[in-house]
Amino acid sequence: MPSTEQVPGHGRLVLGIDLGGSSMGTTGWVLPRDSSGTSVVDAGRLTKAGVGEAEQKLVDLITAHAPEIVAVDAPLTLPPCLTCPAYCRGPSPTTCELTAARDVWEIGGNPMTERLCELLLRNELKTIPPRPQATMRLGQIAARGVALSRRLASLRHDPKRRVPAHVIEIYPYGSQHRLSITEPAVRPQGQDELRHVYVERVLDGIQRLGVDLGIHRPQLALEHVLDGLIAAYTGSLVWDGLDHPPSDFNSATGWIWLPRQAH
């Protein structure tokens, strides 16, 4: 996990991204800075673009701001069966040779479309709809997330690019559920709750959690940008406030980072 050292006078930058379709204006982002306190310094939505241009805009956004952490609301790994060696005796619970796939089978999931981290979170949130969706049901967004993670990893070898030290996967609904234990106002949207009421409630709650929204509050109320804010806040907890995978968990298969549960 990241170093706790800060650049004097600059603080730590975390970029939260709510990843949407590549050619649509549905990718929201929020950049907070953490020094003596957390304050939002920029926010927005990527504009519509062709597929190739959209992917380049996404990478340029990240490298231009050079955050230490990028917190992405999208799957960053594939289900086990999609990374399995070419020779396969499965897929089935009894013939699978891949441990990661067997782990999914054992708790009633499908390793062709689901990851173990999603199933564990689904069990936690099972009484609170909507449930997290399986990776491959997210289609294009899952593909974008996995490709983004790989591309940023490859750019670490380019001395001309300032690439974040860590890219983490988050799930705003799960983060809100955890955070609402101590700050009820950030809870997920109620079934009959009007969007503008929900948005103002969450923004008030985020402010009470210590985030200075400043002049960016109207921008943060926009669809996709609000989830980018939740992603950014979750990412800002990475130094001392997130739940790590269990010691025996293979985090290479994917891990959804959530605020540490209050006890």
Which tokens in the block code for residue 187? 């809870």
- Is 105 inside any structural domain? no
Report residue 8's pLDDT band, with 50, 70 and 90 as the boundaries. very low
What pLDDT shows up at residue 124?
86
- Is 99 inside any structural domain? no
Q: Calculate the average pLDDT of the chain.
A: 86
Q: Which residues pair with 168 in a beta bridge?
A: 71
Find how far residue 86's CA is from the centre of its chain: 30
Give dist(CA 50, CA 203) in Å, integer.
32
Contacts of 176 (CB under 8 A, 6+ apart): 186, 187, 188, 202, 230
DSSP 41-65: EEEEEPPP--HHHHHHHHHHHHHHH
Label the pairing between strands 28-34 and 38-45. Answer: antiparallel
Q: Which of 44-58, 88-102, 154-168, 220-234 has the highest mean pLDDT?
A: 220-234
Is the per-residue pLDDT at 227 higher than 90? yes
- Is 51 inside any structural domain? yes
Percentage of residues of the chain with pLDDT beyond 90: 49
Comparing 126 with 117, the larger pLDDT belongs to 117
Is the per-residue pLDDT at 129 higher than 70? no
What pLDDT shows up at residue 216?
95
What pLDDT shows up at residue 5?
40
- Is 202 inside any structural domain? yes
Find how far residue 70's CA is from the centre of its chain: 8
What pLDDT shows up at residue 127?
67
What pLDDT shows up at residue 4?
37
What pLDDT shows up at residue 207?
96
Q: Count of residues for the chain?
A: 263
Contacts of 218 (CB under 8 A, 6+ apart): none
What pLDDT shows up at residue 11?
63
Residue from 164, 148, 170 nearest 58 by CA:
148
Is the per-residue pLDDT at 121 higher than 70? yes
- Is 221 inside any structural domain? yes
pLDDT digits (tens, 9 = 90+) for 137-159: 778 888 899 999 988 888 877 77
DSSP 113-177: T--HHHHHHHHHTTTSSSPPPPGGGGTHHHHHHHHHHHHHHHHTT-TTS---SEEEE--HHHHHH
pTM of the model: 0.88
Q: Which residues pair with 31 in a beta bridge?
A: 42
Taking residue 185's Cβ as centre, other Cβ atoms within 10 Å add up to 17
Question: What does the CA dihedral 166, 169, 174, 178 come to, rounded to 10 degrees?
Answer: -10
What pLDDT shows up at residue 130?
63
Contact 128, 177 (CB under 8 A): yes
Order the strands of the 211-212 sheet from edge to edge: 166-169, 69-73, 12-18, 28-34, 38-45, 211-212
- The alpha carbon dihedral of 118, 122, 125, 128 has a sign of positive
- Is 161 inside any structural domain? yes
Collapsed DSSP state (helix, strand, coil) of residue 217: helix
- Is 137 inside any structural domain? yes
For 186, which DSSP code?
G
- Is 130 inside any structural domain? yes
Residue span of the structural domain in which 219 resides: 13-78+115-253
Q: What is the CATH number of the domain that holds 119?
A: 3.30.420.10
- Type of residue found at 181: I
Report residue 225's pLDDT band, with 50, 70 and 90 as the boundaries. very high
Which tokens in the block code for residue 211? 């985030």
What pLDDT shows up at residue 6?
38
What pLDDT shows up at residue 97?
78
* Total structural domains within the chain: 1
